[in-house]
Structure formats: structure tokens, C-alpha cells
Chains A and B, each alone.
Chain A
Amino acid sequence: MNTLTDEQLLERFPGTRIDHDNKAFYRGLLNRQLLIDRCGDCGHWFHPPRPICPKCWSRDIRPTAVSGRGHIHLLILLHQGPSAPGVRYDTPHPVATIELEEQSGLRFTSTIVGSDNAALKIGLPVELSWIDRGANPVPAFKLSGASQ
């Protein structure tokens, strides 16, 4: 497991707004774990990280690994966008919001790898598939049953 200090964690994510409420999420990424906040009292999942459960106001927040399975809820193709290592826009870059199987309405936004853009459709099932960007693992998704 990754046991970086807070200072070391911040160095791994320059320019990202990391604080004590969301640092577990970013530590999880470095361990190739997608940790989503879950309430220790009522079991409600929520994202992005917050210091309170929006459903029962418990402060017992537990960043918890999800299965990584879900389906595409929102889908766009960027023909231009921010520069990032390994991201080229000559082939449009897909960005998808995945509705995670753990709870209706619980969503996580990333990219989809391993398929032609023409194969991507809202509603299709996906699963987590980690990629590397610079020195950091990034949680991406692939169509269920696709290789990579």
C-alpha cells in the first residue's frame, strides 16, 4: 500500500485541489483503487468526496473500493481539450460519466479505452481498466467483454 505523506501526495498531483476531505481518494488512485465515499452509518454512497453524508449527516465517512462495474450514462467526444500525457485529439477523446452499479445515480467521470469511438454508446456496460498517465495511474473504463 502507498503510504505517502501529505506533502508527497501533493507532489504527485500538482495543480489538483487536494485537501483532508478528499486525500483518501487520491491516495487510492496511486494504489490502483477507486475509492468512493460511503457513509458508515446509513451506507449511502456519494461522489465527489464531502465531509458529511448528504443523506443522514453522519460524519463517519469511509472511502470504499467499488467494483468498477457500471454503465455509460453521459458520453461526449472531445475534438479539442486540455493537454495531457498520451491524450491526442486527432482521434476524438471520449469522456464518459459512468453510473456505478453500487447505487442508482452514483456516477464517476473518466475516459473509455480499448474500443473504437464508433462502438461507444450511452447505456453500454463497462468495467474499470487502469491506465497510466505520466507517473500516475488513472481509473479508466472499458466496454464489458472488451480486451485491454
Chain B
Amino acid sequence: MIFTPAVLRSEWTKVRSVSSTMWTLASALLVTVALSAGLCALTNAQFDNLSQQDRLTFDAAGTSFSGMFLGQLAVIVFGVLVVAGEYSSGMIRTSLAAVPQRAAFLFSKLAVATALAFVVGMVTSFASFFLGQALLGSHRTGIGEPGVLRAVFGAGLYMTLIALFSMGVAAMLRSPLLSLGILMPFFFLISTILAAVPVAKDVARYFPDQAGQKIMQVVPSSDGSAYGPWGGLGIMCAWVAVALLGGYLVMSRRDA
């Protein structure tokens, strides 16, 4: 039995008793909602200046999640600090002395932090959606339209999976600086840039964020993707699974 109520309760105490949890998750929510709202308002004001093509493929739901490309960075910081913070502070030795079953320790920690990221992710996605739609004026869509609820729910899932992926990577690298130094530029720059380069595009669309973001789109993009919204989320889940497996192997094999 991997999850015991005792260890889960202990990990909940840990995650709620450091201020970085509050700061990172609050930033994720605020940045995503505020930036999405701003971009929606801007789009509404500039809609008539858009090209014919852009107007035809306009995705009202997707636009209201456009702030997530920045907000996800705060989620990454949250995931990294939850796991790698144990190593950088030396707390890991105290933690493992208390819970020597390393799989139980790691997965209880991930379960608690992921549950928290899920709640914040859902609040963020629904808030982003409704505020964004309100600001889109006549170009808005409704939650009852085909595919829209899936996109809103998916945006929350996307944030949750980003957190979990970061935790897996941090468990492998065991250093907050190293983990952030790899994850931040990857998600903020490299992935986005490669996705815009014609040749690299075909590879980049299988990156966790590029694949996962498909779930937030209601109007399919015209680039002829090999997978749909759930297929994309599946690809992202595979990345997360690999990161978690790596994290688990490092945790169980290496000296603390």
C-alpha cells in the first residue's frame, strides 16, 4: 500500500507550511487570469483589423487561456520547490528517516501537491474562461458550445500536468536551480521558438506543452496535426509518466 493517510497528512502539512506554495500558486492564478483577460480585451478591440484567415479560425475559448504560457512558469516553480526544496534544505534526510519507504514518500508528496495544483488549475481555467469571454464582447463563446467545456476543463488539467512533470524532473535532478534552469527556458523559449520554425515544428509538436495545449483549443489549428485534443493530452501524460519514472528511480537508487 503506497498511500497511507499518515504520510499524506504529513505531506499536506509540509506543503501548506511554506510560503512558497502560496506565492507560486497565487502567481499562477493571477498571471494567467490577468494576462488572458488583457489579451481578450485587446483582441476584442482589434478584431476588425485581423486578417480574414485569422477571423475565420478565431478560437474564443483558446484566447481566454492565452495567459497560461506565462502562468505555467509559476506552476513549474511550485512543482520544483515542492520536491527539490527537500534536497536544497537537507530536509530530505529528516524526511526519509521518518518515512524510509521511498516510493511511499515520493508518491504521497506528489499526490498532495498534484491535488493542490489541480484545484488551483481548475479555478484558474474557469476564472480565465469566464472573465475572458466577458471581455470578448460579441466574439464570445458559451460554456455549452461544442468542445468548450472540454477546453476549460482541459486547461485545468494542463496546469496540473505541468506541475506533475516539473515534480518528476525535480526528483531526477534534485536541485531547484538546475531544475528551474532547464524547465523555465524550455517551456518559455525553446519549445515556443521551435514550434514556430518550419523544420523543427514536426518535432516540437510532440513536446509536452505543445501537445498538451491542444486540449485548450476548440477550433482545430490548420497545421494538420497528427493528433486531436485528447491525443495531445495523452502525449503529455506520457512525458509526465517518463519524468515520474525517472524521478522514482533516482529517489530509490541514490543516497539521500
Q: Do A and B bind each other?
A: no
- Chain A residues near B (Cβ < 8 Å): none
